[in-house]
Amino acid sequence: MLSGKLDELVAAHDRTTKLIWAAMCGALLVYAAVPFLISAGWREPGDSVSAALLPFLAGVAVLFAAASSVYRRREFSDDRFRSLLREPTSVEKLVQHVPSERERSKLATKLEAISPEDLRVYSVILSRLPPTIVVLALQEVVGIAGLVAAFLTRDATVVVPFVGVALLLHIAVFPNTAALAERVGKLGLTVPTMT
């Protein structure tokens, strides 16, 4: 169970992470829609070279889907979390990238009110946003490969399985920052801090 003050901070971060996730899912839907919207202007199917690229693009999609899984497994592993929990942190370090002085001051006040253990957990949670974006971007390539395939083959239906797989991959990594904070918090109980 998260402390009330940490829960508030995690909830704010969770909204940001879910907004990014939703935007990436929305982009996939656009990738799916575009070929259907413009396919009426396609008079002839793509040439045989374009059709021959379809297995290559499917291979690229599989490669990027696998890469996202491997990267996520590494970046969200208990070992990685333990390593991050061992790193020293401070309120100053956590607020240094907040652009507005007013917002930086508000966040610093909130962070100063939580325990050192909760500060370590929050630090790890914040550090997981870039890897989350990388995972989503790797998965996004699956949908982009489908979009390219649809344009090359001049067959709008080709995009559907690519985007479907990419959406399933996105759904599989739906952000749950509170659960992640709970997991990191439990690991933090067993990890000594660096001085």
pLDDT at 195: 45
Q: For 100-125, how does the pLDDT look when each residue is reduced to its tens digit (9 = 90+)?
A: 999 999 999 999 999 988 999 999 99
**13 and 167 Cβ atoms separated by less than 8 Å:** no
Please state whether the predicted TM-score (pTM) of the whole model is above 0.85: yes
Q: Which amino acid is at 157?
A: T
How would residue 39 be classed by pLDDT, with cut points 50, 70 and 90?
Answer: confident
Distance CA 136, CA 143 (A): 11
Q: How high does pLDDT run on average in the chain?
A: 91
pLDDT value at 19 more than 90: yes
How many helices (DSSP H) and strands (DSSP E) are in the chain?
A: 9, 0
Average pLDDT for residues 54-78, to the nearest whole number? 96
CA 2 to chain centre: 23
Question: What's the half-sphere exposure (Cβ side, CA atoms, 13 Å) at 110?
Answer: 18
pLDDT value at 194 more than 90: no
How would residue 176 be classed by pLDDT, with cut points 50, 70 and 90?
Answer: very high
Distance CA 138, CA 186 (A): 29
Distance CA 129, CA 137 (A): 12
What Cα–Cα distance (Å) separates residue 70 from each residue in 65, 66, 82, 84, 135?
A: 9, 6, 18, 19, 9
**68 and 135 Cβ atoms separated by less than 8 Å:** yes
pLDDT value at 156 more than 70: yes
Rounded to 5 degrees, what angle do the CA atoms 132, 136, 139 make?
145
